[in-house]
Amino acid sequence: MKAGIRSVSSALAAGLLRVHESCTGLLDEIPGYSWDPAASAKGEDRPIKTADHSVDALRYVLHSTAHEWRYLLPGSNQRGAEPFGQGLT
């Protein structure tokens, strides 16, 4: 889960991910997606699991396709797949 959260954070920070205003469910959930303070007190990183279906879907999609876009991150030395649509004949 933490790796997926890092993927979303990285894509957002690099400007590789934009959320359209019509994605109201996702936009409503993002501000509430935070770390559970009880888990943090125990030294654990665990998000609060309420009203998070859209955020979880975003995390899953981004993390499972990271091999397609991670090379676009600034400072990345990873070679990934070509950008979508390029290299197709």
In this prediction, residue 86 carries a pLDDT of 46
* pTM as predicted: 0.73
Sign for the CA dihedral angle at 31, 37, 62, 72 comes to positive
> In the predicted model, is pLDDT for residue 88 greater than 70?
no
**Distances 78 to 1, 16, 66, 70 between C-alpha atoms, Å:** 22, 16, 11, 7
In this prediction, residue 78 carries a pLDDT of 61
SS3 47: strand
For the ranges 5-9, 38-42, 47-51, 77-81, the lowest mean pLDDT is seen at 77-81
